[in-house]
Every structure is written in C-alpha cells, then in structure tokens.
Amino acid sequence: MAALSETDPCSFSQPKVCAVTNIHLALTVDFSTRVLSGYVLIEATKKAEHATLLVLDCKDITIHKVTDERSGQDLKFCLGTAVDPFGSKLEITLPPVTGKSVSVKIEYETSPQCSALQWLTPEQTAGKRQPYLFSQCQAIHARSLVPCQDTPAVKSPYTAEIIAPKDIVILMSAIRQGCEDIPGDCTKKVHKFEQKVPIPTYLIAIVGGDLEYRDIGPRSKVWSEKEMVDKAAYEFAETENMLKTAESLMGPYVWGQYDLLVLPPSFPFGGMENPCLTFVTPTLLAGDRSLADVVAHEITHSWTGNLVTNNSPDHFWLNEGHTTFLERKVTARLHSGEKFRQFMALDGWKDLKDAVETIGPKHDHTKLVLDLRGVDPDDAFSTVPYEKGFALLFYLETLLGGPDVFEKFLRAYIENFKLQSIDSNQWKDFLFSYFKDKISILETVDWNTWFYGVGMPPVKPQYDTSLADICHQLGDRWSAASDGDLSAFSPTDLSNLSSVQVRQFLNHLLQQPPLSVAKLEKMEELYQLMKVQNSEVHFRWLRLCIRGEWSQAIAPALKFVSDQGRMKFVRPLYREMYQWEVARPAAVENFKKQRPTMHNTTASLVAKDLHLK
Ligand code: BES
Ligand code: ZN
C-alpha cells in the first residue's frame, strides 16, 4: 500500500510540503447521470523549499486535465492505484514559480458511486416532484466529491458556483451569494456560495432538491421539502436561544448565518455540523421539541470542531468530547439546570458501557486517542470519543475547581486554538499551561490510561441521580415482577416522566436480562410505546422487544429500519434481529430488498453487521 501521510493516517496528502490555501468549485449537477462535473481551482503554498509536488486525495474521480491557472500550461499528474476506502494519491507536478504560491485548475467529474453523495429519485422524496442530492463528507468522503487534501490538518476558505436544473434549490456549507439565470439556457440556474472562514474539507457540503425555508430566528432559517417545513420550524424554534447560550459560554459565533436543513429519512446521522447549514435527520421531528438537543450539539461544533479542529481522525475526541461536554452545558442552561446535565451525563455513561461491550472491552477502538492506520474511520465510529471524552472533561472539571473555573479554561482553549487544527498533546499542553498553579493536581491524573487505555475510563465520575432514580426504580420493579402478577403497573407509571426519562427507563431495562414476552405485552398494553412518535423512545422500545424475542415486534422493527436510515437506530436493531434466529432471515431479506435505495455508508456497515459480503 502507498504510504499515507505522516500526521494523518487516513490521507495521502503532504501538507508539510505544499498546503492548500483556497478552493473554488465550479460544478454542474446532472441528476440523470448522477455526476458532478466541472473543475476545482486550488491555490496552495509551498512549505518546503524544493517542493515539486502537490499531493491530493482522490476517490472514484475522473481527472480530465490539470493546468497551471496562471499560464494555462498543462501540468503533469499521476493518479496512484486505489486503496479502499482511502482512494488514491493524486500527485501534481507544480509549475515553475518564483514565489511560494501556486494555482492549479483540475477539470474532473465524480462517479455515480461517489461515497460522499446520495442521489434520490423523485419517488424517494417526500414531495415526489424533484430528484434530490445530498452529501456527507465526514470523515473521509470529501475526496470522492473533489480532489483535495482530505485531512482536517488543512483548512481553507472556499467559494463555489453550482449549475443545476432550474427547479432545484442548491445549498452549501457556506453563505449564499445568490442564484442567477444562465444566458442562453433557461433550463438551468447557477448558485453561488462563499465560505470565508477556513475549514477542513470534511465540512464541505452540498444539497440539491425541492427545498423551501421558514425563518426561525434573526440569523436562522430552516430548510426542507415543503411537506415538513412548518413542522421543522416549530421543532427548532429554540435555535436562536441555543445560539445565544452557546455564545455566552464560548464567545461570538463567527459564521454569520446558522441555518438548519432537514434531510430525507436516509440521512445516516442525527446531525452534521456543516458550517452555516447544519444537516439533521427528520427523526428529530418528534412534534414536541424533545429531540432538539441534537441541534445544541451541532451548534456547539461551531466552536469545538469547526473553529478548533482535530488534526486527524485519531483525535476525533477533541471534536466530539468537547462538543458533547459543552452541548450538555447549553441544554442545561436552557432547561432544567445542573441536575439535568448530570442526568444526561449518566445516560452518556450507560451509552459508553454499551459501546465498550459491543466493540469489545479490549478493542483498540475503545481508546480515547485512536490509531487509525489502515482503518476506515466509518468502521471505527462509535460513542467512545463522545462519552469517554465527556467523562474526562467532567472529571477534570471536578478536579480543577468546578464549572466556573473550567468554563473559563474552555473559552481560553477556543480562543487559543481557533482557526487551527490540533492533536491531543497540544490540548494537554495547553491545559497544563493554563492551570500552571494546579500542576500537582493535574499530575494525579492517569493520562496514559485515559488517552491510550482500552475499555472503560480509569475513573467513574459521581453523577447526581435525582432525575434518574425514578426511571431506575420503575425499571427495577418490572425486572423483579413475576409474569403471573403484573397488576401493580398502570398507564400512569409514565405520566410524570419526561421523554428523556422514559428513554432512561428503557435504557435501564436494556442493561438488565431480557424481559419476558408476557411483560413486554403488558407494557405495550399499558404504555402504548409502539405509538410513541419520539424516535429515541421508539428505537429503545423496539430493541427491548426484539431482545425479549417478542415475535410481534419483528414487523414494526423492520418497518422502522426501512422508514429511516439513521445509523444509530438502524445498526443496533439489525444486529439485535440478527442475534435472534427467528428474526434473522426476515432481517437479512429486508436488508437485501432495501439495499439498492439505501445510503452507501449505511448499507455497507449494515452488510457487515449482518455478516453479508
Ligand atoms: N460530526 C458528527 C457526525 C459524524 C461523525 C459524521 C463522524 C460522520 C463521521 C455530529 O456532530 C454528531 O455527533 N452527530 C450525532 C448527534 C449527537 C447529538 C451525538 C449523531 O449523528 O447522532
Ligand atoms: Zn458531533
């Protein structure tokens, strides 16, 4: 295998030799061939004196021509053999220049297999009027959209001009600069964008479809197909409050606009922090704003992730651990305060335990700092960086003097590293320099185990359990009850619980031995959980039913994994069905039927979960 770069195990690029400083995209969207074609203009700076090559990442892309933008001369290029899932190394021979900066034009087209893009037919959309297209570049899919230095160690601003059929609205992770007619071609329009803040390539994003918007705040619109735009505007009405709360913790929001886009159900994640335009799954539309904490999470990435960025996927916890930690501060401030924060933290600890058990307690992917040499980051993705990262920050907060002290540190951390990409040691060095009066305390931390140890963290934080106790007590009562006498339970058991508490009640049961079918039937009769709209509750309930081998749950579980494609829901449910030989054939058959219209990434990961391929 060709050598990958020194600092980022998932990229071929060599930014220490020559680094990209600006990107301009000029592309035409063709729904009939499922191809984007046009060119990218890359400006780069030579970092090494005798630099002769600009090295880029490239995956399933056809390069037509590479030229020196200044002289118009052809440039030699060499595309290496493809290595799955990293793609190939594209080496461009630099033009002879006097200064340090070069400008290279690459004419290219993507392929229909482009792993960053999902193309939907009109029939696959809510409105069934127009086709749809959306991207998901994190972690290493940007290279299938555009030849680039696809490592988060490199940041650059970008501009774009996208030509698309006239009835399609195009949006990107940037500020809209308008949409214009094309002289002589009334079938298409050109959409212009500018992202002035330097960003890593995984934050490049594009969507095209029959989109509408509603204003939801002074700097925010929510976009979606018109079928759900009003519901979305209601669900995310708290966006501006979240932004203001986040600013009070972390400093000014520098990105100008903060819009939300509600994607079709196949969107594989809960949310994606594309700058200026967060992407979210429609499974957040619970009707009661109860799942908007995902928006608080993506808003928080505007600082931790998008301003201060992990410099390789190995240090992904810097993005997600800090974001999870600060997201919980934002939601706690907006809602029920410190008790709520600790309640969510406890939930996170359970998720971490679950993840460690699923991955295997000795597995490398349970480490906080990863080593992804030769590993597909999509395969390594888990809640570990989120929750182990959270647990470390919570532990440090307690150790170093509490929220006031630690919040000041986090703000200083952002101020110090904004617009940069860093690794875990730079974070740790800054922590030590900030708390130079508390070095003796910091030295009591078992850093080696926190960073590089497998399994659960070395310290279990003490969380306040006052909001969780009621959930656990109810769960324990169900576990302890005998099948023959379930008369002590009633529909009102849940009436004083918030939806996050119901979630917690189900989580608690998921950590106990499977429930009997008699109990599951009774629970459904009393609580009607199959009818609950909240996707987080619905998911946990189905999981519990499948685990308890209740055959009547197979059909609704299959429906749930087919109606939406959020990996957090789809993968555990498919795995759960696979475990049970009665559900297994139906699960496999269902997957095979769905596969052609599923999102690429989801389909290949579920295939692995089902031991196909
Ligand atoms: N950046 C992530 C999503 C992501 C991570 C996509 C890695 C691809 C590779 C996003 O911010 C995220 O964490 N989303 C979560 C929501 C959250 C509240 C934990 C999700 O999708 O569930
Ligand atoms: Zn995140």
CATH number for the domain that contains residue 561: 1.25.40.320
In this structure, is residue 213 part of a structural domain? no
Same domain, 318 and 367: yes
Does ligand 1 have an atom closer than 6 angstroms to the CB of 284?
no
Same domain, 473 and 429: no
Same domain, 377 and 317: yes
**Catalytically annotated residue among 108, 132, 386, 463:** 386
| Cα dihedral: 232, 234, 236, 241 (round 10) | 160
Q: What is the pLDDT of residues 431-475, one digit of tens each?
A: 999 999 999 999 999 999 999 999 999 999 999 999 999 999 999
Closest atom, ligand 1, to C-alpha of 301 = 11
Confidence at residue 2, expressed as pLDDT on a 0 to 100 scale: 47
Residue 335 has pLDDT above 60, yes or no: yes
Does ligand 1 have an atom closer than 6 angstroms to the CB of 329?
no
| Known active-site residue 574 | no
Distances (CA, A) of 132 to 150, 165, 269: 25, 11, 17
In this structure, is residue 310 part of a structural domain? yes
Confidence at residue 55, expressed as pLDDT on a 0 to 100 scale: 98
Residue 1 has pLDDT above 50, yes or no: no
Does ligand 1 have an atom closer than 6 angstroms to the CB of 135?
no
Closest atom, ligand 1, to C-alpha of 378 = 9
Give the Cα separation of 592 and 237 in Å (integer). Answer: 39
DSSP 449-511: HHHH--SS-SS------TTTHHHHHHHHHHHHS-TT--TT--GGGGTT--HHHHHHHHHHHHT
Same domain, 49 and 172: yes
**Catalytically annotated residue among 225, 235, 298, 320:** 298
Same domain, 33 and 177: yes
Single out the residue in 417, 452, 487 at which a domain terminates: 452
pTM over 0.75: yes
Single out the residue in 199, 229, 247 at which a domain terminates: 199
Tokens of 244: 């203001």
Same domain, 447 and 472: no
To test the pocket of ligand 1, the residue of 138, 262, 272 to mutate (highest count of ligand atoms within 8 Å of its CB) is 272
CATH number for the domain that contains residue 360: 1.10.390.10
Same domain, 477 and 412: no
Q: What is the pLDDT of residues 582-604, one digit of tens each?
A: 999 999 999 999 999 999 999 99
Host H or E run for residue 403 = helix 403-417
What average pLDDT does range 366-371 have in this prediction? 98
In this structure, is residue 228 part of a structural domain? no
In this structure, is residue 263 part of a structural domain? no
Which residues are CB-neighbours of 185 under 8 A, at least 6 positions away? none
Give the Cα separation of 463 and 194 in Å (integer). Answer: 44
Residue 135 has pLDDT above 60, yes or no: yes
CATH number for the domain that contains residue 43: 2.60.40.1730
What average pLDDT does range 282-311 have in this prediction? 98
What average pLDDT does range 166-176 have in this prediction? 98
Confidence at residue 14, expressed as pLDDT on a 0 to 100 scale: 96
In this structure, is residue 73 part of a structural domain? yes
Does ligand 1 have an atom closer than 6 angstroms to the CB of 217?
no
3 state SS of 89: strand
Closest atom, ligand 1, to C-alpha of 383 = 19
Same domain, 483 and 367: no
- For 537-556, b/e burial (b = at least 16 CB within 10 A) is bbbbbbbbbbbbbbeebbee
Does ligand 1 have an atom closer than 6 angstroms to the CB of 297?
yes
- Residue 413 belongs to what domain range? 303-452
Same domain, 498 and 396: no
Residue with CA closest to ligand 1 atom 3: 272
pLDDT classification of 7: cutoffs 50, 70, 90 = confident
In this structure, is residue 267 part of a structural domain? no
Residue 283 CB neighbour total at 10 angstroms: 25
Same domain, 426 and 541: no
Confidence at residue 443, expressed as pLDDT on a 0 to 100 scale: 98
Confidence at residue 336, expressed as pLDDT on a 0 to 100 scale: 75
In this structure, is residue 44 part of a structural domain? yes
Domain count, the chain: 3
Closest atom, ligand 1, to C-alpha of 297 = 18
Rounded mean pLDDT of the chain?
A: 97
Q: What is the pLDDT of residues 64-116, one digit of tens each?
A: 999 999 999 999 999 999 999 999 999 999 998 788 999 999 999 999 999 99
> Which single residue is written with the structure tokens 């079938």?
187
Find the 510 Cα to ligand 1 centroid distance in Å. 23
Residue 3 has pLDDT above 80, yes or no: no
In this structure, is residue 144 part of a structural domain? yes
> Could you say which ligand is closest to the alpha carbon of residue 269?
1
Same domain, 389 and 491: no
Same domain, 437 and 529: no
Q: Which of 278, 350, 281 is nearest to 570 (CA)?
A: 281
Find the 270 Cα to ligand 1 centroid distance in Å. 6
DSSP 239-286: HHHHHHHHHHHH----SS--EEEE--TT-SSSEE--TTEEEE-GGG--
| Known active-site residue 386 | yes
Do 368 and 389 meet the contact criterion of CB atoms below 8 Å apart?
Answer: yes
Find the 43 Cα to ligand 1 centroid distance in Å. 30
Does ligand 1 have an atom closer than 6 angstroms to the CB of 381?
yes
Confidence at residue 222, expressed as pLDDT on a 0 to 100 scale: 99
Give the Cα separation of 341 and 79 in Å (integer). Answer: 50
Confidence at residue 5, expressed as pLDDT on a 0 to 100 scale: 65
Confidence at residue 4, expressed as pLDDT on a 0 to 100 scale: 65
